[in-house]
Amino acid sequence: MKKTMATSLVLTTIAVVGAGCGSNGEGGKEATPAAASVEASGAPSASAGTEKVELTFYYPIQVGGPLTATIESMAEQFTKENPNIVVKPVYTGSYGDTTLKTQAAVAGGNSPDVAVLLAADLFSFMDMDSIVPLDEFIAQDGDDGFLDDFYPAFLENSQVEGKTYSLPFQRSTVVLYYNKDAFKEVGLDPEQPPATWDELAKSAKQLTNEDRWGIEIPSSAPTSATWMFSGFAIQNGKNLMSQDGKEVYFDTPENEEALQFWVDLSKKDKAMPENVIEWATTPSDFLEQKTAMMFHTTGNLANIRQNAKFDFGVAMLPQNKQFGSPTGGGNLYIFKDIGKERQEAAWKFVKFMTDPERAAQWSIDTGYVGVRKSSYETEAMKQYTEQFPAALVARDQLAYAKGELSTHNNGKVTAALNDAIQAALYGKVTPAEALKGAQTEADKALASFK
Amino acid sequence: MAGSLGKRWRSEVFAWGLLAPSLLFLAVFTFYPIWITGVQSFYTKNLAVREPVFAGADNYSQLFSDSLFHKVLINNFWYMLGTVPGALALGLIFALFANRALKLRGFVRVSFFYPNVIPMIALANVWLFIYTPEYGLLSRLTDMIGAGHTAWLGSEKWVMPALVVMMVWKEAGYFMIFYLAGLQNIPNDLYEAAQVDGVGKWRVFWRITFPLLMPTTLFVLVVALTNAFKTIDQLFIMTQGGPNNASNLLLYYIYQQAFSYWDFGAAAAATIVMIAFMLLITVLQFVGMDRKIHYR
């Protein structure tokens, strides 16, 4: 037992680094064919005398589909265009795993060069001093309008005090998925999804029957409850935190009203399960027609599109005072302790990964939103959105979207809100009490950053 | 005199020589990390304070005033109370049964033992499906008998019992193996003597089998108690400690402090509390129960 304890805390770091190396090795193995072919095609330029830079690229995969292959072919393509830079993609599990492996690697002096990490974890990486701002690289390229092409709602989680620390890569918003067949069945217009909170509650009630819930809004830990709640908060007037990540506004009357609305969907309207709703099973419930509507990420669009055996629609989240949704997902970060030369190479790769064509392709393959405005002007995207207009909903919603909850000490602040929301959904405490408690906890967690 | 001293000295050296390799590993991988953790527990190191700052007992006082820490301890207590007696009793029953069953003995033993061979992560995924609301296995069963369905893992009330049932099921087979070995060590003549005297089966169990199995029970008890604290793989897959921390256990709490909140001071303090707790259990076990056990 003692041994377990010791290993569990102090040596977990080592174990994690070890695991990181393990997957490093695996990633290397998987990438071998690609690397080999690259070496073959890149041989002439290598012999021309320039030294090769090898970049390690950590990335998580959060949605379904054979996406490792897509990432690897992108890396391969990049090396074709930049023969002196070889990118070694390392699949690192979920976002949580990726953050953990990255931090362990940084602490062990073996930092990756570039990684896709949660946009919301920005402050954590800043506080750990492991990333660099990108402004210098952007200025170097002399393209002043470069950032303007990215949707501002996505950049909100990248920028602090005038500096830009990451570029949006796989980004999403929350949308309302609804079962058109179920709408018809109960006499609702399938082309008129609910657009306000009142309509949402009303149609959810109407859609509920013995075998089917009206709506499911995920509320499981660690972040789905807070992500969903951000949406309600924005719709009711104001986002949950300040841009500098030092203050949160949990216990406002508007937020109490928002949480009450959410609680009422199950407690009063009986249109939503009363327990905590699991993030991962919500899409299956929707596909199995156990729920007629759900709030979920646009990142699931491809999955729903392929597997729904019924006619479904996608709509913006209903409004109260205004429309709104938090953004979510992962950004590309460049690391600090890797030296100037590698950072330059990493910047080239980051630009390559976010260029309009690639952004369009990634969006089509996954359902994530194209991160740049110009990605919607590409041929591939035009064709795709023509066939499948639902893909445009998330983009159109960006006009009303705001950054997701992201603060210093993000883990603790998010956990405080998460626990409060779950307790309120259970009816153990009133929304007002829950949010007051969360505010106190969060203030405590943020005190040392002021 | 000198000869016997020399001999003693030699055997002493020999003994230490044999112990050295494992002592070395214990020192490097157990005692040294515990020492470092102990030191860390008196320093503040988190996202706001990058370089460790001495904080005295701050980490401990914050820990003991953290309502979540209280909740986690209480959860762990109930979890222990659910899994330990349950798994022990079931393991013993399995063993008694597997020891008797003449036909298909191998099959019986294998089927009781197999849950233990499967990795916890895989089992957690299987049970995740069993406990899924609406269309999970258990929900369909309760639906069939008209009891409606419950979101077992999504309900504060049911999540702990659900985890306990899974854990008992997984561990019972493992404990069965020890009990089987224990049963086979009990001399048959005791049973024969009891039979000659016409003693009832129930009495034979309580007067012969159970007392003679006490050494096994002690060992298994220690294993089960520590497992109740150290097996948390299933939480990562099934609940993430939720809903509302209803299934959060001590080791998972430590993990969260360290790797979700990056608060290494708090994590170190909680680790020390856990180590102290475990030591206490072990000491109580060995000292308190040693006297009542019939070693042969």
Q: How many domains does chain B have?
A: 1
Check CB contact under 8 Å for B244 and A428.
yes
Kindly state the DSSP code that residue B177 receives in the 8-state scheme. Answer: H
CA distance A281 to chain B (A): 8
Check CB contact under 8 Å for A6 and B34.
yes
Q: Considering just the CA atoms, what is the radius of gyration of chain B in Å?
A: 24
Check CB contact under 8 Å for A409 and B47.
yes
- The ipTM of this complex is 0.75
How high is the pLDDT of residue A448? 86
Q: Which chain A residues contact residue B259 at CB under 8 A?
A: 12, 100, 103
Selecting from A9, A419, A422 the residue whose C-beta is nearest the C-beta of B258 gives: A9
Check CB contact under 8 Å for B259 and A10.
no
Mean pLDDT for the stretch of residues B23-35 = 93
Q: Which chain A residues contact residue B282 at CB under 8 A?
A: 1
In a domain, B239, yes or no: yes
- Helices assigned H by DSSP within chain B: 2-26, 32-40, 58-65, 67-100, 105-117, 120-131, 137-144, 159-184, 188-196, 201-204, 210-212, 214-230, 233-238, 250-255, 264-290
Question: Are A153 and A99 found together in one domain?
Answer: yes
Q: Which residue range(s) make up the domain with A268? A: 173-326+402-449
Residues of chain A with pLDDT under 70: 1-50, 63-65
Question: Are A335 and A315 found together in one domain?
Answer: no
Check CB contact under 8 Å for B254 and A8.
yes
Question: Are A229 and A106 found together in one domain?
Answer: no
* Domain end marker among A368, A395, A422: A395
How high is the pLDDT of residue A221? 76
Handedness of CA B231, B235, B240, B241 (dihedral sign): negative
Check CB contact under 8 Å for A7 and B33.
yes
Q: Which chain B residues contact residue A280 at CB under 8 A?
A: none
In a domain, B150, yes or no: yes
Question: Are A210 and A310 found together in one domain?
Answer: yes
Q: How many domains does chain A have?
A: 2
By the 10 Å C-beta count (0-12 exposed, 13-18 middle, 19+ buried), A339 is classed as exposed
Which residues are CB-neighbours of B59 under 8 A, at least 6 positions away? Answer: B41, B42, B43, B44, B265, B266, B268, B269
Question: Are A129 and A24 found together in one domain?
Answer: yes
In a domain, B47, yes or no: no
Mean pLDDT for the stretch of residues B188-209 = 87
Which residues are CB-neighbours of B193 under 8 A, at least 6 positions away? Answer: none
Q: Which chain A residues contact residue B134 at CB under 8 A?
A: 285, 288, 290
Question: Are A222 and A233 found together in one domain?
Answer: yes
- Chain B nearest-CA residue for A437: B67
Question: Are A348 and A411 found together in one domain?
Answer: no
Give the CATH number for residue A312: 3.40.190.10
Check CB contact under 8 Å for A222 and B251.
no
How high is the pLDDT of residue B105? 77
Question: Are A44 and A179 found together in one domain?
Answer: no
How high is the pLDDT of residue A64? 63
Check CB contact under 8 Å for A9 and B226.
no
Question: Are A370 and A408 found together in one domain?
Answer: no
CA distances from A427 to A222, A223, A236, A386, B68 (A): 20, 20, 22, 45, 19
How high is the pLDDT of residue B291? 61
Mean pLDDT for the stretch of residues B36-48 = 89
In a domain, B5, yes or no: no
Decide: A304 and A85 in contact? Cβ < 8 Å.
Answer: no
Q: Which residue range(s) make up the domain with B92? A: 67-290
Question: Are A154 and A178 found together in one domain?
Answer: no
**With 90 as the cut, is the pLDDT of residue B145 above it?**
no
In a domain, B54, yes or no: no
How high is the pLDDT of residue B269? 95
Question: Are A208 and A336 found together in one domain?
Answer: no
CA distance B109 to chain A (A): 28
What's the mean pLDDT when you consider all of chain B? 87
Question: Are A180 and A136 found together in one domain?
Answer: no
How high is the pLDDT of residue B134? 74
Selecting from A288, A415, A422 the residue whose C-beta is nearest the C-beta of B243 gives: A422
Give the CATH number for residue B107: 1.10.3720.10
Check CB contact under 8 Å for B230 and A2.
no
| Helical axes A410-426 vs A431-446, angle rounded to 10° | 170
| Segment of B68-72, B212-216, B223-227, B260-264 carrying the highest mean pLDDT | B68-72
How high is the pLDDT of residue A301? 86
As beta bridge partners, residue A116 has: A332
CA distance A27 to chain B (A): 22
Instruction: pLDDT band for B45, please (50, 70, 90 cuts).
Output: confident
Closest residue by Cα to residue A300 from A284, A317, A319: A284
| Segment of A34-48, B32-46, B123-137 carrying the highest mean pLDDT | B32-46
